[in-house]
Amino acid sequence: MTDTTHTTTATATTTDERTDLLEALAHSRRFLRFTTRDLTDEQAGQRTTASELCLGGLIKHVTSVERHWADFILNGPAAMPDFTAMTEEDFARRADEFRMQPGETLAGVLADYDETARRTDELVTALPDLNVSHPLPKAPWNEPGARWSARRVLLHITAETAQHAGHADIIRESLDGAKSMG
């Protein structure tokens, strides 16, 4: 990433908006990844709470979310599924992204996440305008007719990543007592 930091006075440093957005996202990504340190593939797939979530599955989910929203920035709602038309089978298949599947490895899941992160960062850096917007895809949780700018999508990706980093911290602490902080 290009360093866009510049000094405005001898004591104050400012950054441009894209740098701030990407740094906030990178911070959340680091916390999420950190929860998987020193784990085996089996541990990454282990459920430790009442929920269906496991650490590897959370990484897979966040990867999928980031990939789809980056595609949305480029291609609008056509890049996303029409959640209002999804069947129970569709939702069951989607639930697989929250689990480590046979043959999946933590290293592979993390590599996919890294590639998705690299692609998103490059997209944000190259976008001519963060104000470009598209209508949101059809989903019961989206307001009909609402639009999101690229900026709003990046804020959403960051919030989603941070939220799941918190989930991951609870799962990891339940697994073996390790904590991300504290």
Per-residue pLDDT in tens (0 to 9) along the chain, 182 residues: 444 443 334 444 556 999 999 999 999 999 999 999 999 999 999 999 888 889 999 999 999 999 999 999 999 999 988 888 888 888 888 888 888 999 999 999 999 999 999 999 999 999 999 999 999 998 888 998 999 999 999 999 999 999 999 999 999 999 999 988 76
- Distance, CA of 67 to CA of 73 (rounded, Å): 10
Q: Contact, 94 vs 85, CB < 8 A? A: no
Q: Contact, 51 vs 97, CB < 8 A? A: no
